[in-house]
Amino acid sequence: MYQIYPRSFKDNNGDGIGDLKGIIEKLDHIASLGIDVIWLGPVFKTPNDDNGYDISDYYSIDPEFGTMEDFDDLLQGLHQRGIKLIMDLVVNHTSDEHDWFIQSKSSTDSPYRDFYYWIPGERNNPPTRWEAFFGGSAWEFDEHTSSYYLHLFTKKQPDLNWENPRVRQEVYRMMKFWLDKGIDGFRMDVISLISKRLPFRDYNYEHFMEMVYNVHANGPRIHEFLQEMHREVLQHYDIMTVGEGPGISKEIAKDYIGHDRNELNMIFQLDLMFMDHGPGGKFDIQPVSFKDFKNLFREWDKSVSETGWNNIFLDNHDFPRMVSRFGNDHTYREKSTMLLLTFLMTMRGTPCIYMGSEIGMTNVAFKDLKDYRDIETLNYLQKIKKEGGNLKIAIKNVHVQGRDNARVPMQWNENEHAGFTTGTPWISVNPEYKNINVEKAESDSDSILHFFRRLIKLRKSGKFPVLGDFRELFPEHLNLFLFTRTDGLKRVFICLNFSDHIIDMPSIPFRYEYWLGNYGNMTETKMRPWEALICKITSG
């Protein structure tokens, strides 16, 4: 799977915003990677309060991205190349500019009133003290009917009332519209949050994430809703689904993706993404050790492998770039990106690679705060300023964690704005683009890009145990991630050195031979800095 964030992939008409025609322009690049499926971020009509995750019409394409005809062309172009397309399904909330909400808001007897959660009340006295994901209260007062509505994200993203069967039928109808067009599935945005714990009340959780895990996520009817969706929509199509959402722990993941559940095929495991978040949230950064990293993958694999199959990813449009977070984006940028790609392509699961990882794109540290665009980042900086907090530290935190790290334009070449646009990009490019871009990577046969293609080829060669089990060796090792994947006679050994140092190879209880690696060969006894090796097991 390859994730495209449409706003930042390629601008075709020079308005500075990535669009569908831009993606079509780059179809050959996409196909050249060897990937099987694109996850396309939201391209529906939107006032763009949260970059398209606030949808005002599910049935039309936002003019900034193009037209329905462009969409059809893109789908056709992908299918012609044997690539599938899945779309974002954002149905925990709509935009406040969606017609349902406009009607809902208009009066207490509107037939759409119960499409959302309204609680009568007085100004400055919200039904609960809940905080929204991007800061502030999760309740917004509406003068017109003297009521509050719930919004777990921004106030322009009111939560849909899934208790109302009409809401669910509308969602299913919309899903069928896109599936009948021929799309191949959905990535379901914050699907873990659609069933609410009612009645709304306050809880004694101090930290936001505790509220998410214990109150907002996995509400009492979540599985009933997903099974209904499966019955009414999903089972009638040959498609794939990936659920997203905070609060799904490894213990309950199988309730969403178990083979016998008739719900989803995979979920994005977000524990890793949240692992360095402290009590104060994502900008309260806590250290994470390599051991924590390994433990998490081991435990998730154990818990999911009994009855399911999951997705493996290291970054997306909400989180820092994988090489900046888990690799070394200075001295060993290329080697460590290749190592992380090797990890993604060899673990048990379906890998999802975020656009730009194929060339090792890195985090960006804008000096000028005016360059930031993400509502979460802007709200955070504003809050720090208002509270008189330490702005210097806050800016550093944004450099490490901010969502714009992953949202700056894709770097195509060394021309102005990295070849992303001929106009002014909606968000500045990463100044690194002269060094890191697709054109440059194409011209160097040792580049990350070429290595990535070799990895995909290997995985798809029929000789790689894609479905094989996962077994770790030396789980306590402080630098190496060593594991085998086995499926009958297909047996491989993966060695990954997650460090800047030369590490002695421990003694391995079987024989193996080199298959592919980021140094082009292997030594029997040492693992070089950020070395990644895929080996065939030959005996033992």
Residues lying near ligand ISL in the complex (CB under 6 A) are found at 50, 53, 90, 133, 153, 189-190, 246, 270, 282, 317-318, 376
- To the query of whether residue 96 is one of the catalytic residues in this protein, the response is no
Q: Is 475 left (phi over 0), alpha (psi -120 to 50) or beta?
A: alpha
Q: What b/e sequence results for 418-456 when a residue is b if at least 16 CB atoms lie within 10 Å of its CB, and e otherwise?
A: bbbbeeebbbbbbebbeebbbebbeeeeebbbebbbbbb
Q: Which residues contact 180 (CB under 8 A, 6 or more apart)?
A: none
Rule CB under 5 A: say whether 19 interacts with Ca ion. Answer: yes
| Angle ∠(198,204,207) on CA atoms, nearest 5 | 105
Q: What b/e sequence results for 503-534 when a residue is b if at least 16 CB atoms lie within 10 Å of its CB, and e otherwise?
A: bebeebeeebeebbbbbeebeeeebbbbbbbb
Q: How far apart are CA 400 and CA 325, in angstroms?
A: 8
Is 96:156 a contact under the CB 8 Å cutoff? yes
The least distance separating ligand ISL from the CB of residue 370, rounded to whole angstroms, comes to 21
Residue 44 interaction partner, one of Ca ion, ligand ISL, none, beta carbon < 5-8 Å per kind: none
- C-beta neighbour count of 181 within 10 angstroms: 13
Q: Which residues contact 136 (CB under 8 A, 6 or more apart)?
A: 155, 379
Residue 153 interaction partner, one of Ca ion, ligand ISL, none, beta carbon < 5-8 Å per kind: ligand ISL
The least distance separating ligand ISL from the CB of residue 246, rounded to whole angstroms, comes to 5
Q: Which one of 11, 88, 184, 244 is the catalytic residue?
A: 244
Find the distance separating the first CA and the last CA of the chain, reported in whole Å.
34
The least distance separating ligand ISL from the CB of residue 372, rounded to whole angstroms, comes to 14
- 394 or 455, CB closer to ligand ISL? 394
Q: Which one of 96, 159, 189, 329 is the catalytic residue?
A: 189
Tell me the residue ranges of DSSP E strands in 333-479.
350-351, 353-354, 469-473
- 96 or 531, CB closer to ligand ISL? 96
- 189 or 329, CB closer to ligand ISL? 189
Which residue lies nearest Ca ion, judged by its C-beta?
Answer: 19
CB-count burial class (<10 Å; 0-12, 13-18, 19+) for 242: buried
The least distance separating Ca ion from the CB of residue 68, rounded to whole angstroms, comes to 16
Dihedral of the CA atoms 131, 137, 142, 146 (nearest 10)? 80
Residue 17 interaction partner, one of Ca ion, ligand ISL, none, beta carbon < 5-8 Å per kind: Ca ion
- 157 or 447, CB closer to ligand ISL? 157
Return the residue of 8, 11, 191, 341 that touches Ca ion, per CB under 5 A. 11
Longest Cα–Cα distance of the chain, Å, equals: 75
Return the residue of 13, 307, 379, 479 that touches Ca ion, per CB under 5 A. 13
The least distance separating ligand ISL from the CB of residue 247, rounded to whole angstroms, comes to 10
Q: Of 3-11, 138-146, 342-350, 393-401, which part binds Ca ion (CB under 5 A)?
A: 3-11
The least distance separating ligand ISL from the CB of residue 49, rounded to whole angstroms, comes to 10
Q: Which two tokens stand for residue 124?
A: 């400055």
Residue 53 interaction partner, one of ligand ISL, Ca ion, none, beta carbon < 5-8 Å per kind: ligand ISL
Residue 189 interaction partner, one of Ca ion, ligand ISL, none, beta carbon < 5-8 Å per kind: ligand ISL
Phi/psi at 537 (5° precision)? -85, 125
Q: How far apart are CA 428 and CA 379, in angstroms?
A: 19
- To the query of whether residue 238 is one of the catalytic residues in this protein, the response is no
For Ca ion (CB under 5 A), the number of binding residues is 5
Residue 15 interaction partner, one of Ca ion, ligand ISL, none, beta carbon < 5-8 Å per kind: Ca ion
CB-count burial class (<10 Å; 0-12, 13-18, 19+) for 221: middle
The least distance separating Ca ion from the CB of residue 30, rounded to whole angstroms, comes to 18
Rule CB under 5 A: say whether 15 interacts with Ca ion. Answer: yes
Residue 23 interaction partner, one of ligand ISL, Ca ion, none, beta carbon < 5-8 Å per kind: none
Rule CB under 5 A: say whether 43 interacts with Ca ion. Answer: no
Residue 314 interaction partner, one of ligand ISL, Ca ion, none, beta carbon < 5-8 Å per kind: none
The least distance separating ligand ISL from the CB of residue 334, rounded to whole angstroms, comes to 28
Return the residue of 17, 375, 381, 522 that touches Ca ion, per CB under 5 A. 17
Q: How far apart are CA 302 and CA 305, in angstroms?
A: 5
Nearest Cα neighbor of 246 from 281, 204, 284, 280 is 281
Point out which residues bind Ca ion (CB under 5 A).
Answer: 11, 13, 15, 17, 19
Q: Which residues are catalytic?
A: 189, 244
